[in-house]
A and B are shown apart, each in its own frame.
Chain A
Amino acid sequence: MGMTMTQKILAAGAGLDKVVPGQLIRVKLSLVLGNDITTPVAINEFEKNGFDGVFDKSKIAMVMDHFVPNKDIKAAQQTKQCRCFACKYDIDNYFDVGEMGIEHALLPEKGLVAPGDIVIGADSHTCTYGAVGAFSTGVGSTDMAAGMATGEAWFKVPEAIRFNLTGKLKPFVSGKDVILYIIGKIGVDGALYKSMEFTGPGVSELSVDDRLCIANMAIEAGAKNGIFEVDDQTLAYINERVHREYKVYTPDEDAQYERSINIDLGMIEPTVACPHLPENTRDASVLSDVKIDQVVIGSCTNGRISDLRIAAEILKGRHVAKGVRVIVIPATPTIYREAMKAGYIETFMEAGCAVSTPTCGPCLGGYMGILAENEVAVATTNRNFVGRMGHISSKIYLASPAVAAASALTGVITDPRNI
């Protein structure tokens, strides 16, 4: 029986020729990640247990992105704790205000993740790096602490669901619509404990940004990881950024999958996930009676340059609807500068949007756009749980940047093809 991409990467990390689903293994880590929310808990555990060294200061990344620039004194204390730890152990990849971006946009951009890597991150959306052929998965702070101390983590080898992608996306349809469509199809626990492996001729029709967005939300289907087959586009992206050796893994021809699902990209419509679960999906076109108060365009899911580009194209020369607040958050300083040079920031501000420095802020109800009682938001973020962005009676509709921008103009949920 052959192995899937994930199984092959895990076998190599464990120093084994072969692994089978359900097998418990210990693997060597390529990178251990934490943010300003999860790292303090890891540091507390690390210090409480008497560890006094990290396994490799070049293989730890700390990104201060959730409540940074700090929203209050307690958040400032937590960031300070991370800063002191990073300084004490001379952590190479510590990113603070000015350099920091949203972690899952920043790490691929900086070339810190590569095909064949094994990455754990104390952030559930660490699964993003599967877009470039890495095994990467979210863990908690104790796993992060153990990873920093030993450079290893334990895993149960997962089964995989194969998504065979065919066809080509229609205009105004993006990676976000693809992943929302898939979660709508299989449910928020449809891939529980499993890998989601994306293969087939449709992969090459998706940009690297689209793939990052799709892999990012694998966790929203309960998956352990999402991973794409590496192609020429991946290699072009990686070779521009990664200056070390890496290894590309392909699935064996006789790899065993728990099941295979065919996805014709050409059939997917602009898709929206209604409150309060990412699986509650509908076509954007049937939600035009939903009035909105706020739009957020950004996050680790959709704060990349292609996301800002499509939003700017829709908003250019127009103005957001009266009574709608629009917050645009470029995910990294590089994306911010690129958007400035391309004139997108000017377009957003002329249209009446606020543009923020990179932060996760509103996505998790931290700051920078909290919702009041009964308010409704369209957000390009990844979760629409009860109270996620503010008051427990507020509602979040998850959508692509195109749907979010179109909705900003009309004040109701809008299919971008109708603008």
Chain B
Amino acid sequence: MNAKGTVHKYGNNIDTDVIIPARYLNTADHGELAKHCMEDIDAQFVNKVQKGDIMVGGANFGCGSSREHAPIAIKASGIDCVIAKSFARIFYRNAINIGLAILECPEASEKIDDGNTVSIDFDTGIIYNETKGEQYQAQPFPEFIKEIIANNGLLNSIRKKAGV
């Protein structure tokens, strides 16, 4: 499992209200949510983002509301992976549960710049910055989480275990 794309970089404490403002939570439609992703912090994001791109944030990425609409909007906008110095815990859980790859890596969060091209090997946790020729090591997912992702999300993983 790998990813490669252009980076969209943001700062610390990116909250779920700026990822997807509550005024758009009157729908659960993934495409509709994606249209407003990051709108209150970067109105141009939806015009710039390409399928397969990477998002990079600072500390406490995804803090605030438990809305699963936030990782859904990011994933549906085309982003394949979010890298941050640290994640708020509900966002971290939600991203895994819906199958959006996320990696904690303080060094990558600090050194990667907006617009860099980055490739990621999820098995090893190695993040390679092709623009700068730098390599950063993230913690690969624990087995427990790999199993959820391999099964395409939490519910599917539960169903498989139950033999349904």
Contact = CB atoms under 8 A, between A and B. Distances in A.
Interface of A: 24, 37-38, 40-41, 44-46, 48-51, 66-67, 71-72, 74-75, 78, 121-124, 126, 138-143, 145-146, 149-150, 154, 188-189, 192-193, 219, 222, 224, 277, 364-366, 383, 385-388, 392
A138 B67 CA distance: 10
Interface string B86-99: 10111001100110
B17 A385 contact: yes
Contacts, number: 134
Interface string B58-92: 01100111111101100000000000001011100
Contacts of A72: 26
B67 A37 contact: yes
Contact of B97 (A142, A365, A387): A142
Nearest to B161: A150
B156 interface: yes
Interface in B14-39: 15, 17-18, 21-23, 25-28
28 contacts: A37-B67, A37-B69, A45-B155, A46-B155, A48-B155, A49-B155, A50-B159, A51-B155, A66-B22, A66-B25, A78-B27, A78-B28, A122-B66, A122-B68, A140-B66, A140-B68, A142-B153, A149-B158, A150-B158, A189-B63, A192-B60, A192-B89, A219-B90, A222-B63, A385-B64, A386-B17, A386-B18, A387-B40
B44 to A, nearest CB: 14
B76 to A, nearest CB: 13
Nearest to B145: A24
B55 to A, nearest CB: 18
Contacts of A126: 66
Contact of B17 (A123, A149, A388): A388
Contact of B59 (A189, A385, A388): A189
Given A124-B66, A387-B40, 20 more contacts: A41-B28, A41-B68, A45-B155, A67-B25, A72-B26, A74-B27, A78-B26, A123-B66, A126-B66, A139-B90, A141-B68, A142-B68, A189-B60, A222-B60, A222-B88, A222-B89, A364-B17, A383-B15, A383-B65, A388-B17
B13 A277 contact: yes
Contacts of A139: 66, 90, 93-94
Task: Indicate the member of B27, B69, B98, B154 with the most A CB atoms within 10 Å.
Answer: B154
Contacts of B144: 24, 154
Nearest to A81: B28
Given A140-B94, A143-B93, A222-B60, A364 B68 contact: no
B150 interface: no
Nearest to A152: B158
Task: Indicate the member of A41, A72, A145 with the most B CB atoms within 10 Å.
Answer: A41
Given A143-B154, A383-B17, A138 B90 contact: yes
B18 A383 contact: no
B66 A38 contact: yes
A141 B68 CA distance: 6
A188 B13 contact: yes
A365 B89 contact: no
B40 A74 contact: no
A41 B94 CA distance: 12
Contact of B65 (A67, A71, A124, A386): A124
B135 to A, nearest CB: 27
Nearest to B60: A189
B140 to A, nearest CB: 16
B164 interface: yes
A143 B94 CA distance: 8
Nearest to A123: B66
A386 B156 CA distance: 36
B159 A366 contact: no
A383 B67 CA distance: 14
Contact of B18 (A122, A193, A385): A385
A132 B96 CA distance: 30
Contacts of A45: 155
A78 B66 CA distance: 17
A122 B98 CA distance: 14
A131 B22 CA distance: 27
Task: Indicate the member of B13, B28, B93, B142 with the most A CB atoms within 10 Å.
Answer: B28
A123 B16 CA distance: 12
Nearest to A49: B155
B13 to A, nearest CB: 6
A75 B26 contact: yes
A206 to B, nearest CB: 25
A218 B67 CA distance: 17
For the complex of A and B, the 4 pairs showing the least CB-CB separation, nearest first, are A140-B94, A74-B26, A140-B68, A142-B97
A146 B86 contact: no
A12 to B, nearest CB: 21
B64 A145 contact: no
Nearest to A70: B26
B27 A146 contact: no
A365 to B, nearest CB: 5
Nearest to B33: A41
Contact of A188 (B22, B63, B65): B63
A398 to B, nearest CB: 13
Nearest to A155: B93
A142 to B, nearest CB: 4
